[in-house]
Amino acid sequence: MDSLYSLEPLSALINKHVKLKYLKNSGRDFKVGTVSLVSARYHEWGPADPYFMDKLIASASIPVVFPYVDLKTSRDVLVDGGVRNISPLSSAFDAQPDEIYVLLTSRLVKEGLKLPDSGVQEHDYEKWDDNWLGTKISGLDVLKRTIEILTDEIYLDDIRGALEWNEMIKNIETVKQASQTHTLPDEITKTISELTSKVKKRHVPLFVIAPQEWFGDENKSTEFSPGLIEQAINHGR
């Protein structure tokens, strides 16, 4: 199929450095997510899966940027799980962790304790002016920019929702603890008990880690040049 990049270099890198036996014996609950172009559903896979290495590669196969992974043995076609689940925080909470770290690969600067309204780099008007240097804005330019904005909004909403939910759980736990040391009216005690039983979750500290500077040409998420990757890695050290 047509794509901007080949999966061969990534496959070679993964096969060289990722060893299934080490993953299986690591004691870590390691999972990757994919979306099936056949069923349109999101699934997560662990090292015990017989086709895990193929699914690991598929989990990084951004549609159009990379080709999909065709699993002929299971009659399925897989792409990056971010198509349906950009930041799989629900899975992280379900694993009952002590802490959750969300690692973003594009620039995001908090505004105090809050996430910004946008993580997308702003453009100068001239970039979208058809008359600027005789350039013509194409439908593809608009589509790419729109996808960039939509993707940004989805993962920001995911993280905001998780942070807000986390804060609500924390408040419920605080009220529950207070009810155990103070005598409260039966009606309030009953409400707290019902609320706790319905939520069935607990507060987990959640940390968002992201680059603090732009990388490459306008911080494009589809740019995978070796120089840019090295620059990003060095920034994260």
90 and 79 in one domain?
Answer: no
Tokens of 224: 């995978």
* Res 34: pLDDT: 97
183 and 96 in one domain?
Answer: yes
| Domains held by the chain: number | 2
- CB atoms closer than 10 angstroms to residue 80: 22
104 and 23 in one domain?
Answer: no
pLDDT tens digits, 85-140? 888 888 888 888 899 998 887 788 877 778 888 888 888 887 887 765 566 788 87
137 and 71 in one domain?
Answer: no
**E strands, 51-205, where?**
69-71, 76-80, 100-103
* Res 47: pLDDT: 94
* Res 79: pLDDT: 95
* Res 222: pLDDT: 58
Cα→Cα distances 125→118, 119, 131, 142, Å: 18, 18, 11, 14
pTM of the model: 0.73
The strand pair at 69-71 and 32-36 is best described as unpaired
Among the candidates 51, 85, 119, a domain finishes at 85
Alpha-carbon torsion (210, 215, 221, 224), positive or negative: negative
Residues of the chain with pLDDT under 70: 1-3, 131-135, 192, 195-200, 215-225, 236-237
232 and 120 in one domain?
Answer: yes
41 and 106 in one domain?
Answer: no
90 and 76 in one domain?
Answer: no
29 and 49 in one domain?
Answer: yes
Q: Domain range holding 29?
A: 1-85
* Res 134: pLDDT: 61
* Res 221: pLDDT: 58
* Res 68: pLDDT: 94
